[in-house]
Amino acid sequence: MNKRGNGLAIGFSVIIGLTFFMIGMLFVNFLQPEITRAVGTNGLDCSGNISDGSKLTCLAISIVLPYFFIIIISIAVGKVTWRFIG
């Protein structure tokens, strides 16, 4: 195999992974205000005495952001490691 071509492909895959990571982190700025508004006093009002269904909905909405970080990081790292394995 051509070592120069393989190194170029790995470098390109690192750049694509970093680009995907940066674009994903830019979307966090769009998600954060909407999540804050949804669980705030104008939305579900998750801080008061609420029913079990509303508590579950508040939990599901609040967990979106950490899962978004995990998904973005795993896709970016997966894109980079795909070149090392494949």
Reported as a single tens digit per residue, the pLDDT across 26-81 is 988 998 899 999 888 888 888 878 899 989 999 999 999 999 999 999 988 888 88
Judged on CB neighbours under 10 Å (0-12, 13-18, 19+), 85 is exposed
* Tokens, residue 17: 């992974």
Q: pTM for the complete prediction?
A: 0.71
Report the pLDDT averaged over residues 17-27. Answer: 90
Contact 78, 59 (CB under 8 A): no
pLDDT of 4 > 80? The answer is no
Q: How many CA atoms lie within 13 A of 57 on its CB side?
A: 13
Sequence spans of domains, the chain = 3-85
- At 33-45, the pLDDT tens digits run 999 998 888 888 8
SS3 2: coil
Residue 1: pLDDT above 60? no
